[in-house]
Amino acid sequence: MVSDETFFAWLDGELGPGEAAGVAAEVEADPELAAKAERHRALQARLTQAFGVVADARVPEQLSAAAQPAEAEVIDFAAAKGSRATRWRAVPQWAALAATLAVGVFVGTMVPQRRDAPVAVEGGQLYAASALDRALDAQLASAPSGPVRIGLTFRDRSGAICRTFTEPAQSGLACRSGDRWQLRGLFAAPDGQGGNYRMAAGMDPGLAALVDTTMAGEPFDGAREKAARDTGWR
């Protein structure tokens, strides 16, 4: 006589082929077991149908809105020079869009083109400019100076050198493109942390995830970082 556990494991397709064939033969030979299998198949079907209504229904607005991460916000770098960053409501999957042309165009419409703005838009792409560009070019993680701090330096899968940076109100990732630093992502500092620098260990989770998928191999150590700078980030 097959145990309940084995019977249901068979019904649920959890048994290996050999064992399943044994149970199937036993069920076929025993009308009572066969009827039990039928009843439980019907129960399974009813559960699937009843709760399937929920899965097939349109997700309530409030819930889909909650799933669009509020912390994924596009930052106005220039405005961030004031006491607090001006924020725009999230473009959903901002980090996702960061590597695309679309976001460059989108952000490009919002970033004021001031002479000292740390972000420049060209051909629909975002590039580091002024103080940010200079920091990415010259600054070593071990020797912070000025408003921008450098975090990790590493190569992406295409071999380009990338660097993470932190400013008081946001952090981001920029990668070498020709002789410029192209921005791959910008992340707002959480509320209330705008005035503090966050170290690598406290990296924004969105930035950390972006770094994780961008980086090929290990981050540079101090010597490699310096050597890369001295050879023009090739």
Residues that bind another protein (CB under 8 A): 4-5, 8-9, 12, 14, 39-40, 42-44, 46-57, 59-60, 62-64, 66-72, 92-93, 95-96, 98-99, 205-206, 208-210, 212-214
| Nearer to another protein (CB atom), residue 29 or residue 53 | 53
Nearer to another protein, 78 or 210 (CB): 210
Name residue, tokens 């993470």.
164
Cβ atoms 177, 218 nearer than 8 A: no
Beta strands in the chain (DSSP E): 119-122, 125-128, 149-156, 161-167, 170-177, 180-188, 215-216
Give the span between the Cα atoms of 215 and 7, in whole angstroms: 49
Closest CA to 233 of 136, 167, 157, 152: 136
Rank residues 59 and 199 by Cβ distance to another protein and give the closer one.
Answer: 59
Which residue's CB is nearer to another protein, number 44 or number 142?
44
Nearer to another protein, 36 or 226 (CB): 36
What does the alpha-carbon distance between residue 26 and residue 219 come to, in Å, rounded to a whole number? Answer: 60
In angstroms, what is the minimal distance from the CB of 79 to another protein? Answer: 24
| Nearest Cα residue to 146 out of 162, 131, 133, 136 | 131
Residue 206 has, within 13 A of its CA and on its CB side, a CA count of 24
